Structure 1
Amino acid sequence: MTVSVVLFTSDLRLHDHPPLKGALEETEEVVPLFVRDPAVDRAGFAAPNRLAFLADCLVDLDRSLRERGGRLVVRTGDTVAETIAVVRQAQADEVHVAAGYTTFAQRREERLRQVLEADGCRLYVHDAVTTAVPPGDVTPQGSDHYAVFTPYYRRWAAQPLRAPYPAPRAVRVPPAVRSEEIPVRASVRAVSEGLAAGGESAARKRLTSWLSRHADAYQEGHDDLAGDATSRLSPYLHFGALSPVEAVHRARVRGGPGAEAFVRQLCWRDFHGQVLAARPETAAQDYRSRHDHWRRGADARADLQAWREGRTGYPIVDAAMRQLAHEGWMHNRGRMIAASFLTKTLYIDWREGARHFLGLLVDGDIANNQLNWQWVAGTGTDTRPNRVLNPVRQALRYDPEGRYVHRWVPELAGLKAPAVHEPWNLAGFDRALYDYPEPVVDLADGLARFRHAREGA
């Protein structure tokens, strides 16, 4: 009986899974393996919201495998050590895994290759499953990556995509291979109250529902904060509970401007992935240094804490930060407003904001979190690095009726738009009655400080 091991990493699904497909074509039995590696936690993964969502994904994956006659094998420890232990126990001839583009994933792959080859076992590395177009497949002449999104998108959109693979009908697992108990969400503490359910089943239902109900209006409505017309698929894409290849295919089959606008957003994920793959140091360093001397000291720390708590005195910023705390997720327009406010109005280091987001975001990954923060801060790939998003103007444009603010800043529910977006300008506004703080900074003062620091004006 021939046996292979499929090492699941950021690909917690059965549909469109190249390593699983390859293993099932090559061997009679397959061990679907997931390793809970403490090194991943030390690298910043172990935020409660992501651990809870991961637990949902693993439970759902095991359920789907059991429906096909298989099961998920879960181990805890070093990924390489646990994989070789399973290989020996199952007497497997080969291991299949998806390629990773982070430094951590590439080092893990190299270690795995060395250990397996020494043990007489072959390692098959399949195309990355976290992107529609693998990093490095689309490059400009004379460079290893694109630094500007629009030309990348043109090339990316013209790339032929393979057809998504169906889920297997049956998975036969060697009975002798033991598994630990699969973790459940209830075992994780300090999870955001409104965190969505994880897993491939939930992902596929959400994609189907969104495409049929909201895709047509996406182009016009994706920035509407209260309308919440975004797909909310980012957590499932992050964990690989949904294939980006399949998401692109299904959107294109749906067709229309809204679906294509959605595909463009999927391209942004791949864009940041190829930047990080080419420049791994940008996880912590400026992609393009602006020689910033970010604010530090007691005043800056107090402003940072007010931002974290959603108590800056700017309702649209506070609403976004409170949504993050409650759901472990934030509307993309809210992310841009909150990030611009921290980095440019308060002139606080983008790494402070990125760290806070990674502590809460269920979809938080290094490529998209760090490089989106740098884009807004002006140290990344934005071609207009000194643009500043005025939070009041953003609120009036993207929350004109104040419904988003009313939902997340209920102490201001008695104020109607547009006054709710700048209550300090309302005659007779009683801060004690509304229990709402004064602005931590005057917008004009913040803008002047930023321009002086960044432009030397």
Structure 2
Amino acid sequence: MTVSVVLYTSDLRVHDHPPLRAALDGAQEVVPVFVRDPAVDRAGFAAPNRLAFLADCLADLDRGLTERGGRLVVREGDTVAEVLTLVRQTEADEVHMAAGVTAFAAAREARLRKVLEDDGRRLYVHDGVVTVVPPGDVVPQGSDHFAVFTPYYRRWSDQPPRTPLQAPRTLRVPPGVRSDRVPRRSDVADVSPALVAGGESEARKRLGSWLSDHGDAYEDRHDDLAGDATSRLSPYLHFGAVSAAEAVHRARRRGGAGADAFVRQLCWRDFHHQVLAARPEAAAEDYRTRPGGWRTGADAEADLAAWREGRTGYPVVDAAMRQLAHEGWMHNRGRLITASFLAKTLCVDWREGARHFLGLLVDGDVANNQLNWQWVAGTGTDTRPNRVLNPVAQGRRHDPDGAYVRRWVPELAGLDGPAVHEPWKLTGPDRAALDYPEPLIGLADGLDRFRQIRGIG
């Protein structure tokens, strides 16, 4: 019996899975394995919400494989060492895995390739598993990546799409392969109360129902905070429980302005992955250096704490931050508003905000989280690096009736309509009755400070 190993990382599915398909095409038996590597924790990639969601994904993946005659093998330890042990035990000739874009993923791949080759075995790394278009496939003349989204989107849209692969009907795992217990969500403490269920089954159900029920309206409603009309697929994309390539394929097959807008958002995801693949240091360092610095000291720390707690005095900011704490997820418009407020109104380092987001976001993806933060902070790929989002104007525009604010900031539930966005304008007993803070800083003062720091006349 010829044997291949499929190393699962951030591609936890059986549908449209090129490494699994290639392994089945080349071997009679396949060992699907996921390694719970402590190095992931030490690198800061693990957080309670993601660990709980990961447990759901692994349990669902195991069910999907079992239904086809196989099972998921789970090991704990150093990924390279565990895979080497497994291939020796099963006499596997090949290992198949999806390509990653982070420095951590690149280092893991390089180590694994060397030890396998030294042992007379081969590693096959498959592109286009985590993204729609592999990083590096679309590049401008004279550079290794696109630094501006719009020209990237044009070239990306012209790429012939990969046809999604069907899930295998059957697979066989060699007998006697040891596996640790598949993790359970109940193993994880400090999980956000309203964290959604993970797994490929849930992902496929959500993709189908969202395209059918809400996809057509996406272009008009994707920024509607209270309407919550976004797909909420980002956690499933992050863990690879749904294929980005299949999502694009299904959206394009449906067609229409809403589907086009949805595909454009998936292109943004690919855009950030190709930037990080070319510039892995951008996970922690400014992609583009800007004049000035960031506020430090006790006052800045106090402002950062208020921002984290959703007590800034700006209702739409506080609503979004409380949604994050409760759900482990935040509406995309809320992410833009809260990030702009921290980096450009409070002038606190974007890395502080990115770190807090990664501690809670179930979809906390290094490429998208860090590079979206840099985009908003003006140190990334934004062609207008000094734009500042006014939280009052943003609230009025994207939550005009105040329903989103009242949902997440119950202290303001008694205020009617758009008045909820400016509670500081209340006077006397009406203001005194609210257990809600005054704004940390006036918006005009915050804008002046930002311009001074950036050296803008």
**TM more than 0.5:** yes
Percent of matched pairs sharing the same residue: 77
Distance in 2 between residues matched to 1:201 and 1:125, nearest whole Å = 25
Match of 2:40 in 1: 40
Distance in 2 between residues matched to 1:277 and 1:138, nearest whole Å = 12
State how 1:292-331 maps to structure 2 within 5 Å. 292-331=292-331
Q: Does 1:84 align with 2:79?
A: no
Distance in 1 between residues matched to 2:340 and 2:231, nearest whole Å = 23
Match of 2:63 in 1: 63
Cα offsets for 1:126-172 (capped at 9, x unmatched): 11411100000000011111010000000000100110000000110
The letter of the residue matching 2:405 is V
Q: Secondary structure at the match of 2:364?
A: coil
Cα offsets for 1:270-301 (capped at 9, x unmatched): 00001111111111111111133101111110
- Work out whether residues 130 and 244 of structure 1, in 8 Å CA contact, stay in contact via their aligned partners in 2: yes
Match of 1:407 in 2: 407
Q: Secondary structure at the match of 2:80?
A: helix
- Work out whether residues 98 and 125 of structure 1, in 8 Å CA contact, stay in contact via their aligned partners in 2: yes
The letter of the residue matching 2:204 is R
TM-aligned CA deviation for residue 216 of structure 1: 0.5
Cα offsets for 1:162-187 (capped at 9, x unmatched): 10000000110011111000110011
- Work out whether residues 6 and 20 of structure 1, in 8 Å CA contact, stay in contact via their aligned partners in 2: yes
Q: Does 1:287 align with 2:279?
A: no
How large is the RMSD of aligned CA atoms in angstroms? Answer: 0.9
Distance in 1 between residues matched to 2:105 and 2:454, nearest whole Å = 36
- Work out whether residues 423 and 429 of structure 1, in 8 Å CA contact, stay in contact via their aligned partners in 2: no
TM-score by length of 1: 0.99
State how 1:349-428 maps to structure 2 within 5 Å. 349-428=349-428
Gaps of 5+ in 2: none
Distance in 2 between residues matched to 1:149 and 1:309, nearest whole Å = 33
Cα offsets for 1:301-346 (capped at 9, x unmatched): 0000000000000000000000000000000000000000000110
TM-aligned CA deviation for residue 431 of structure 1: 4.6
Match of 1:220 in 2: 220
The verdict on how the C-alpha distance between 1:429 and 1:72 changes in structure 2, with shifts beyond 3 A counting, is: farther
TM-aligned CA deviation for residue 427 of structure 1: 3.3
Q: Secondary structure at the match of 1:394?
A: helix
Distance in 2 between residues matched to 1:397 and 1:367, nearest whole Å = 28
Gaps of 5+ in 1: none
Q: Does 1:272 align with 2:251?
A: no
The letter of the residue matching 1:138 is V
The letter of the residue matching 1:43 is A
Cα offsets for 1:208-246 (capped at 9, x unmatched): 000000000000000000000000000000000010000
Distance in 2 between residues matched to 1:383 and 1:370, nearest whole Å = 17
The letter of the residue matching 1:406 is R
TM-score by length of 2: 0.99
Match of 2:253 in 1: 253
Q: Secondary structure at the match of 1:448?
A: helix
Distance in 2 between residues matched to 1:66 and 1:326, nearest whole Å = 34
Q: Does 1:16 align with 2:16?
A: yes
TM-aligned CA deviation for residue 207 of structure 1: 0.1
Distance in 2 between residues matched to 1:116 and 1:135, nearest whole Å = 25
Distance in 2 between residues matched to 1:216 and 1:59, nearest whole Å = 33
The letter of the residue matching 2:166 is P
- Work out whether residues 99 and 130 of structure 2, in 8 Å CA contact, stay in contact via their aligned partners in 1: no
Cα offsets for 1:240-285 (capped at 9, x unmatched): 0010000000000010000000000000000000111111111111
Match of 2:334 in 1: 334
The letter of the residue matching 1:28 is Q
- Work out whether residues 412 and 434 of structure 1, in 8 Å CA contact, stay in contact via their aligned partners in 2: yes
Match of 1:447 in 2: 447
Cα offsets for 1:88-146 (capped at 9, x unmatched): 11111111111112111111111111111111111111114111000000000111110
Q: Which moved more, 1:402-411 or 1:93-102?
A: 93-102
Match of 2:434 in 1: 434
- Work out whether residues 431 and 437 of structure 1, in 8 Å CA contact, stay in contact via their aligned partners in 2: no
- Work out whether residues 90 and 176 of structure 1, in 8 Å CA contact, stay in contact via their aligned partners in 2: no
Distance in 2 between residues matched to 1:50 and 1:107, nearest whole Å = 22
Distance in 1 between residues matched to 2:359 and 2:318, nearest whole Å = 17
- Work out whether residues 136 and 144 of structure 1, in 8 Å CA contact, stay in contact via their aligned partners in 2: yes
Q: Secondary structure at the match of 1:45?
A: coil
Q: Which moved more, 1:300-309 or 1:87-96?
A: 87-96
Match of 2:73 in 1: 73
Distance in 1 between residues matched to 2:107 and 2:384, nearest whole Å = 35
Distance in 2 between residues matched to 1:78 and 1:363, nearest whole Å = 24
- Work out whether residues 59 and 184 of structure 1, in 8 Å CA contact, stay in contact via their aligned partners in 2: yes
Distance in 2 between residues matched to 1:102 and 1:153, nearest whole Å = 22
- Work out whether residues 100 and 128 of structure 1, in 8 Å CA contact, stay in contact via their aligned partners in 2: no
Distance in 2 between residues matched to 1:227 and 1:108, nearest whole Å = 42
Distance in 1 between residues matched to 2:429 and 2:242, nearest whole Å = 48
- Work out whether residues 313 and 440 of structure 1, in 8 Å CA contact, stay in contact via their aligned partners in 2: yes
The verdict on how the C-alpha distance between 1:121 and 1:263 changes in structure 2, with shifts beyond 3 A counting, is: same
Match of 1:50 in 2: 50
Distance in 2 between residues matched to 1:101 and 1:213, nearest whole Å = 33
Q: Secondary structure at the match of 2:428?
A: coil
Distance in 1 between residues matched to 2:432 and 2:305, nearest whole Å = 21
Cα offsets for 1:64-92 (capped at 9, x unmatched): 11111110000000000000111111111
Q: Does 1:31 align with 2:31?
A: yes
Q: Secondary structure at the match of 1:125?
A: strand
Distance in 1 between residues matched to 2:275 and 2:126, nearest whole Å = 20
TM-aligned CA deviation for residue 432 of structure 1: 4.5
Distance in 2 between residues matched to 1:456 and 1:441, nearest whole Å = 20
- Work out whether residues 419 and 426 of structure 1, in 8 Å CA contact, stay in contact via their aligned partners in 2: no
TM-aligned CA deviation for residue 456 of structure 1: 4.2
The verdict on how the C-alpha distance between 1:367 and 1:290 changes in structure 2, with shifts beyond 3 A counting, is: same
Distance in 1 between residues matched to 2:97 and 2:281, nearest whole Å = 25
Match of 1:193 in 2: 193
- Work out whether residues 291 and 455 of structure 2, in 8 Å CA contact, stay in contact via their aligned partners in 1: no
Match of 2:145 in 1: 145
TM-aligned CA deviation for residue 430 of structure 1: 4.0
Number of equivalenced pairs = 457
Runs of 4+ in 1 over 6 A off after TM superposition: none
Distance in 1 between residues matched to 2:305 and 2:430, nearest whole Å = 24
